Structure 1
């Protein structure tokens, strides 16, 4: 079979494997405890994010632009957990290490899309906090439902189009080497490095997508909080600064949970064992969807009031009129 030429426009025969083998967690000691964590993280994520979405949908007081972004984050976490965790448990707990070529590309597309939307949604929430503190009197003019929905829709389109392009460039590769993917899912970088023809375009895309969905959002979030800190420094009293900063604690917690393992992995990339790198990179995909609804329930005053109101309605005795 003729190998794939690096040039476009020629008659090309693709060499595509019938399946890939995902070997990321194979051979790691005590991984059964990690699978238990995955299972409980999945269950908590499903119930927690469904509860947050239901609460926002049912309470008219939560129909604000901020909670449009919170609803979308819960939606993304729900879809991301559903796309990733059951398949990972099936692969490593039930020893189904092989995955077909098409299923692997589909697995990659949805996992990358939902993981990317998590970081981009944090940008939408940072925009909301920035406008609320920098322009409190004009907040309702600058942050509207239309603006927030347009921003989120743009993020969704960007994520889907960029990952479709990435999948498209994977389909132009031929595989005549190993079919073993040394990751916990169909990782883009691990896939194109198995190709036996020129994968330079995939290399470029593999570096561009993280820049746009990880590092650029992190830079925007950091810039927004530097601006918030500068604005709070001008506030007259310490109590007012603390009160304003408390409105950001939930969002800051989400940012820390998502980015901290990633930053550790990239900072220690050359010194970290490959197995430790795989486990560490899996944490942002598993833990944030579990903790995000808990953080918002515990640290967001509006959701606390909504839950209290809902409990009062349920406890309110029925009054019969004769």
Structure 2
């Protein structure tokens, strides 16, 4: 007598994949906005249906079994296909868009326009603080799109992502109000010789920004400030920066800091290259809306026109020209 074919509910695969990526049931349940008990029940049901043990559980840790490791790529392909199917019929899930942190205008303005272009889609903002940190989340499926310096990512991260240039954003320097250079309307790079400037050193989420600072300061007598205590939230960042007293490398649209002034950098004008970045192969109408919005806003604002005296590393120039 023939047996009935086995069908696997995609919800069970999504539960499995969350635990496989977090290796922690509590964190996985929080990520999926479900009770831990319900998540455990779904994983056990999947194990029964597949007749395979997927996790080894102890009081201290959760690890994948060989069958669990074998299931991971299949689960990802099934869930990607489901997303593509739903998108084709106008039922796409919400798209999670990282804007780095609140107050940066580039990603925010693109997101606003994308929502206008695709009002039927739910585009939800997230704040991951740096593209390297966001890239890990993108590849794991916990985010869908982000903004930042694509050339600054490790090759292993870039391999799983796609990008579209959005802006050459002029870089600035945030100076304490009492700093001698604060009286200038624009600060020549040469005037920063001998200064120690904060550029996120030690922050595991933003090494692409610190690397850009090192490239900019090389040969100019400017030092990158040592790592500061990790700050969670903008208010904590403000407090720590006030204690160090260091100038801060920033971009033209950076939100103001109390007790500091923002001055453009000149001679040359250093540029922060910003791309829209998303997971390779992601099929979602929200991504297409973001790409259209990026192109529209960039064209309207002249974001991809480089100033004659603009500075950018060669690796970034190659990335930013890749879509020309």
TM-score normalised by L of structure 2: 0.23
Larger helix proportion of the pair: 1
Larger strand proportion of the pair: 2
Q: More relative contact order in 1 or in 2 (CA 8 Å, sep 6+)?
A: 1
